Amino acid sequence: MSSKPIQVELPTGEVIWARATVDGPSNVASNPLQHLDLDDLRRTVRGVSGTLRGAVDDLVPDEVQVEFGLELALKSGKLVSMLAEAGATATVKVALTWKRVPVPTAVPDVELVAIDE
pLDDT 10s digits, 37-88: 778 888 888 888 888 888 988 898 899 898 888 887 777 777 777 777 655 5
Q: Which domain holds residue 93?
A: 2-97
More confident residue, 42 or 2: 42
For the entire predicted model, the pTM comes to 0.57
In a 3-state reduction of DSSP, which class is residue 95? strand
In a domain, 106, yes or no: no
In a domain, 103, yes or no: no
- The amino acid sitting at 81 is S
In a domain, 52, yes or no: yes
In a domain, 68, yes or no: yes
State the total domains in the chain.
1
In a domain, 115, yes or no: no
Burial class (CB in 10 A: 0-12, 13-18, 19+), 80: buried
In a domain, 81, yes or no: yes
Tell whether the torsion through CA atoms of 3, 6, 8 and 14 is positive or negative.
positive
- In this predicted model, what pLDDT tens digit does every residue of 3-40 receive, in sequence order? 778 888 877 888 888 877 776 655 555 556 677 677 88
